[in-house]
Amino acid sequence: MTASLEEPQEGTTGRMPLKVLAQFLGLDFQERLEDPQPPRNLYRGDFDRIAGSWGRQFSMVPIGEANGEVLVATSDPFNTTAVDQLRLCYGRPVRLIITPDDQVTKAINAIRTNLMSDRKSELSSDSEKDSNPDFDAQLKIDVTDSEDDDAPIIRYVNAIIFKASSERASDVHIEPYEDRLKVRFRVDGVLYDVATEDKSFQAAIISRIKVMASLNIAEKRLPQDGRIGLKIAGNEVDIRVSTVPTQFGERVVMRLLDKSANVLQLEQVGLGGRNLKVIRNLITKPNGIILVTGPTGSGKTTTLYSCLAEINNPELNILTVEDPIEYQLNGIGQMQVNPQIGFSFASGLRAILRQDPDVVMLGEIRDAETAEIAIQASLTGHLVLSTLHTNDSAGSITRLIDMGIEPFLVSSSLLAVMAQRLVRKLCTNCKEPHEINDEELKELGLDPAKITNRNVFKRGSGQCEKCQGLGYSGRSGIH
């Protein structure tokens, strides 16, 4: 229907059908959109993609606000699904403005350019404002013969790392594309764009990171792994660097681990009620194996650390094998695997069992050999805590059997399996009260007649310095 409306007719400019449609629907029509300068809060956090792939897909883009409504330019007013998505995202009414498709695309491109300029300015100002001489010196430790021309690249990479640390980012993605280099942060499990750089800076930025991680800058055909040890604002940060070759150059991911972060108590990782009582009872058992399952980045290791902190006392000999050591625990012996010299989880676990341990924490059960040793250890008077990559608790039993562990050994040794996920929490600084309506309750699968208290909170729609406009701050585990 939209295509036929946009077909040029003889004696018209090709825009008239849209104008007639706008009049018929009682909507505003704009032949041409001037360079839009919408309020920045329309594109903070998750909404950033609205001015990207989502906007292009639905030919729809927010361009302003008026009388509590979000003004949206579109060439397809019949796409009610997209309109509903915007309404739910912003929590406000949406007013459509009909405009030609090429004007929507032009507006999207202009807004993207402005957003990237803002992000670069923020990145630069944060770097200058929060610059730490010790931090800069540490970053430059591997570069002793830098030319003056390299200084901007050094400062830029420093700024990215510092900004990622200050925003609690768990990962930094440096992604090359055909005509640009994109920088993205993962905060609270969600990726968002930070900056888009010119393709000409790609080689220098990636080479700088590889130098810091002691990687071979000449090798661009093979994946490489390295690490960077830093001290940022007095906190020790371990950065794991991974590079892989792609069609348009090397892609880099840096995972940030704050070693000085405090270990959470069991109550703080989302455990409560019956689950908390069960876990506290199980981790005091003299032997057996307890597994925490879930995808990468779901907080499994953090939960294990909380368990160790709960039972840590001078009467127990607690040893761990990890990759990497994410938190430093007083009174606990921690070992880090090193595959380059043949020190794996399996060999580390064998060595630990000769150290008279009471409790063993294994970072991950990756293969059949490690699984077999862990099971045997749990059957010979040791409490073993570990993680396993499965989607749910029941899947861990199948996974162990697939690794070659006999079913009777699994049933004899396994104390418990706990599946875990992380969900984002609303920012306490900008969350807004909200009274949930019947339609929203039905979308959640709830019966409106059975819900009496409908007062809840929703994420804030404005700018917030604490959460960077995301509306969320921190995560909590669900088990």
Query: Does residue 192 sit in the same domain as residue 227?
Result: yes
Residue 108, token pair as written in the block: 């999207």
Asked if pLDDT for residue 40 goes beyond 90, the answer is: no
Q: What pLDDT score was predicted for residue 172?
A: 95
Task: Please state the rounded mean pLDDT for residues 450-469.
Answer: 80
Query: Does residue 242 sit in the same domain as residue 274?
Result: no
The Cα 85–Cα 294 span in angstroms is 29
Query: Does residue 336 sit in the same domain as residue 391?
Result: yes
Query: Does residue 238 sit in the same domain as residue 270?
Result: no
Question: Three-state SS across 433-471?
Answer: EEECCHHHHHHCCCCHHHCCCCEEEECCCCCCCCCCCCC
Tell which residue, 247, 251, 231, 229, has the closest CA to residue 239. 229
Q: Tens digit of pLDDT for each residue in 274-322?
A: 999 999 999 999 999 999 999 888 889 889 999 999 999 999 999 999 8
Of the residues 237, 258, 279, the one at which a domain ends: 258
CA angle 363, 366, 369 (to 5 degrees): 110
Residue 477 lies in a domain: no
Query: Which CATH number is 197's domain given?
Result: 3.30.450.90
Task: Please state the rounded mean pLDDT for residues 206-231.
Answer: 90
Task: Please state the rounded mean pLDDT for residues 172-193.
Answer: 91
Residue 57 lies in a domain: yes
Query: Which CATH number is 339's domain given?
Result: 3.40.50.300
Tell me the percentage of the chain whose pLDDT exceeds 90.
32
Query: Does residue 201 sit in the same domain as residue 326?
Result: no
The Cα 176–Cα 217 span in angstroms is 16
Query: Does residue 251 sit in the same domain as residue 355?
Result: no
Residue 441 lies in a domain: no
Higher-scoring residue by pLDDT: 328, 248: 248
Give the list of residues 6+ apart from residue 467 with CB closer than 8 angstroms, or none. 45, 427, 429, 430, 460, 473
Query: Does residue 235 sit in the same domain as residue 325?
Result: no
Task: Please state the rounded mean pLDDT for residues 148-158.
Answer: 69
Domain span including residue 67: 2-110
Q: Sheet containing 60-66: give its strands across.
A: 28-29, 94-98, 69-74, 60-66
Crossing angle of helices 345-352 and 368-379, in 10° steps, is: 20
Residue 355 lies in a domain: yes
Give the range with max mean pLDDT: 61-65, 220-224, 263-267, 450-454. Answer: 220-224
Query: Does residue 270 sit in the same domain as residue 417?
Result: yes
Q: What pLDDT score was predicted for residue 310?
A: 92
Give the burial string for 359-381 (b: 16+ CB within 10 Å, else e).
bbbbbbbbeebbbbbbbebbeee
Task: Please state the rounded mean pLDDT for residues 104-118.
Answer: 71
Residue 110, token pair as written in the block: 């202009």
Query: Does residue 284 sit in the same domain as residue 411?
Result: yes
Give the burial string for 187-226 (b: 16+ CB within 10 Å, else e).
bbbeebbbbbbeeeebbebbbbbbbbbebeeeeeeeebeb
Higher-scoring residue by pLDDT: 2, 191: 191
Is-contact 229 336, C-beta < 8 A?
no
Name the domain count of the chain. Answer: 3
Query: Does residue 150 sit in the same domain as residue 186?
Result: yes
Q: What pLDDT score was predicted for residue 46?
A: 46
Q: Tens digit of pLDDT for each residue in 248-258?
A: 999 999 999 88
Higher-scoring residue by pLDDT: 172, 234: 172
Tell which residue, 44, 74, 72, has the closest CA to residue 57. 74
Q: Which of 46-50, 71-75, 210-214, 446-450 has the lowest mean pLDDT?
A: 46-50
